[in-house]
Amino acid sequence: MNKRQKKKFIKKWLIKEGHSIDGCLYCVDCGNKLDFNSKWQMAYQACDSTCYGKAVGVYYGY
């Protein structure tokens, strides 16, 4: 499976499993589209550590 096929496969899987309605994942805090090539973004479902922190309640007043 090449990179492009893998991306397609992941998108299909996300829709099938009900994780996403359009095959894209979005940041849990700000709603930005996430990059399938970023392992960090895929693991935490946030665009960066600030958003992740806000989503889990680590940062206050940011």
Binding site for Zn ion (CB under 5 A): 27, 29-30, 32, 47, 51
For Zn ion, the closer of residues 8 and 30 by Cβ is: 30
Kindly state the smallest distance separating residue 35's Cβ from Zn ion, in Å.
Answer: 12
Helix (H, G, I), strand (E, B) or coil at 33: strand
Q: Which of 33, 46, 35 is nearest to 7 (CA)?
A: 35
Token pair, residue 7, equals 């991306």
Least separation in angstroms between CB 29 and Zn ion: 5
Nearer to Zn ion, 25 or 47 (CB): 47
